[in-house]
């Protein structure tokens, strides 16, 4: 039996790669359907949920920059990838009777609402899941930074980083079988040890505003619900 929720409003950051499943590219419907069930469990608790989604399963602007093409153009292309993912997630959520709004940092009025902070908060108060697309709307900023920024703007009580691993490790657990997971970390630990939790700008923004981060495996059934109800799942990054 689950406990009542620990948090009233949360921001969930999902990487685009999660939507691709075992594929290296594109969207796997079964993965999104599973995510929809996890999100539905949290919504049933009365938790207000915002989601920032990446676009790495579609396109990465950094890769284009490394090929000698314009980095800013590549980042804008990556933002469009996040919009594709946001629409796919919205479609499956609404098939499961979970009402959503997609809000984009780049105006695309035919398919999404423009991002307006007060409107986003109002949607959350009405019990709608708000999916934030197109990052911050600016090149050179990652969706990790966008997640930190949106979490501050909507007054989220915690930033949840849903990944494919169960915690933050002191080294790559795929390459090192002796890698040790952390239960808790400070922001400075993350920055000084160069741990791959989120990029430095995102961590610094959370540190400046005392916003805790929980890194956990979103692929484990009911893990999202466990985190929201305060169970010790994954790694907690805090002051």
Q: What are the phi and psi torsion angles at 84 (to 5°)?
A: -60, -45
Mean pLDDT of the chain: 93
Q: Which residue, among 160, 158, 166, has the nearest Cα to 217 in the 3D structure?
A: 166
Q: pLDDT tens, 89-126?
A: 999 999 999 999 999 999 999 999 999 999 999 999 99
- Separation CA 167–CA 145 (nearest Å): 20
Q: Where are the domains of the chain?
A: 9-238
**CA count, 13 A, side-chain hemisphere, 213:** 31
- Separation CA 237–CA 189 (nearest Å): 9
Q: pTM value?
A: 0.94
Contacts of 80 (CB under 8 A, 6+ apart): 55, 58, 59, 134
Query: Looking at residues 182-188, what average pLDDT do you find?
Result: 95
Q: Does domain 9-238 have CATH number 3.40.1160.10?
A: yes
Q: What are the phi and psi torsion angles at 177 (to 5°)?
A: -70, -15
**80 vs 74, residue with greater confidence:** 80
- Separation CA 231–CA 226 (nearest Å): 5
Q: pLDDT tens, 25-49?
A: 899 999 999 999 999 999 999 999 9
Q: What is the DSSP string of 126-143?
A: TT-EEEEESTTSSTT--H
- Separation CA 155–CA 170 (nearest Å): 31
Q: At which residue do the structure tokens 């929720």 appear? A: 5
- At 2 the pLDDT is 60
């Amino acid at each position: 039996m689950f406990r009542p929720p620990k948090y009233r409003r949360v921001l969930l950051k999902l990487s685009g790669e999660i939507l691709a499943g075992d594929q290296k590219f594109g969207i796997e419907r079964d993965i999104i359907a599973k995510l929809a069930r996890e999100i539905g469990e949290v919504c049933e608790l009365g938790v207000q949920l915002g989601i920032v989604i990446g676009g790495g399963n579609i396109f990465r602007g950094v890769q284009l920059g490394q090929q000698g093409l314009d980095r800013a153009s590549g980042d804008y292309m990556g933002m469009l990838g996040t919009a594709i993912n946001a629409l796919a997630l919205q479609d499956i959520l609404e098939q499961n009777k979970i009402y959503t709004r997609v809000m984009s940092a780049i105006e695309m009025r035919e398919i999404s609402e423009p991002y307006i902070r007060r409107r986003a908060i109002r949607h959350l108060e009405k019990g709608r899941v708000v999916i934030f697309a197109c990052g911050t709307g600016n090149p050179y900023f990652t969706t990790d930074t966008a997640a930190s920024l949106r979490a501050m703007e909507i007054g989220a009580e915690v930033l949840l980083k849903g990944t494919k691993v169960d915690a933050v490790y002191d080294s790559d657990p795929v390459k090192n079988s002796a890698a040790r997971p952390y239960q808790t970390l400070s922001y400075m630990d993350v920055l000084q040890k160069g741990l791959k939790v989120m990029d430095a700008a995102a961590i610094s923004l959370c540190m400046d505003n005392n916003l805790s981060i929980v890194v956990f495996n979103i692929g484990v059934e009911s893990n999202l619900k466990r985190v929201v109800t305060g169970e010790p799942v994954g790694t907690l990054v805090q002051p």
